[in-house]
């Protein structure tokens, strides 16, 4: 049976909520923890498979060993954006963890989503991340053994999207051009 939200009349009548309202609902325990706010709509996050968890941990560990002082790696933690509060699998943000004790970062230098079962949704998030000015967004797609690298953000999305699938390809984010990880290391 199709969702009621698939009906155009209902979709247009639905009332989006703000990031602030989302925070208040969460603090009051009204919404489940396994959610994120996307374009003013509360969405349920998928359960993480062992493969998803492994790749997220691998990428986090690699980035933590490579980021210079002044940047830090966040794993499955919120970013407070204009009308969304996604929880990317990995994000590299400016500053140190201490400065985010009372608020979430409002941007990042790199965001990575691991798409084991959510590739469509993660591709839809590209526009949200681009509008927030995030210079680089990776979608890791284990089933296809590829990484989509989105760069050059603007209000309508990313100007550049490159799909890398060769095992010897070196993945190097813009913020760490000298520190890369081989695609084969991610998937093998």
Q: What is the pTM of this model?
A: 0.93
Asked whether the beta carbons of 137 and 154 are under 8 A apart, the reply is no
Summarised one tens digit per residue, pLDDT across range 125-181 is 999 999 999 999 999 999 999 999 999 999 889 999 999 999 899 999 999 999 999
Pairing relation of β-strands 157-164 and 170-171? unpaired
Query: If you average pLDDT over residues 98-107, what whole number do you get?
Result: 93
Domains of the chain: 47-187 (3.90.1570.10)
Per-residue tokens: 29: 């325990």
What is the number of H-type helices and E-type strands within the chain? 5, 10
């Amino acid at each position: 049976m199709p969702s009621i939200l698939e009906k155009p009349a209902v979709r247009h009548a639905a009332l989006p909520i703000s990031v602030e309202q989302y925070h208040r609902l969460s603090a009051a325990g009204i919404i489940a923890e396994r959610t994120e706010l996307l374009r003013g709509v509360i969405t349920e996050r998928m359960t993480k498979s062992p493969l998803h968890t492994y790749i997220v941990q691998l990428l986090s560990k690699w980035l933590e060993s490579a980021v210079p002082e002044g940047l830090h790696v966040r794993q499955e933690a919120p970013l407070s954006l204009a009308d969304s509060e996604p929880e990317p699998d990995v994000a590299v943000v400016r500053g140190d963890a201490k400065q985010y004790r009372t608020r979430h970062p409002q941007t990042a230098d790199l965001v990575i989503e691991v798409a084991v079962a959510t590739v469509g949704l993660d591709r839809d998030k590209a526009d949200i991340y681009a509008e927030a000015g995030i210079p680089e967004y990776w979608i890791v797609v284990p089933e296809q053994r590829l990484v989509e690298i989105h760069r050059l953000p603007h209000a309508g999305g990313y100007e550049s999207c490159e799909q890398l699938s060769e095992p010897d390809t070196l993945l190097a984010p813009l913020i760490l051009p000298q520190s890369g990880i081989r695609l084969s290391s991610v998937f093998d």
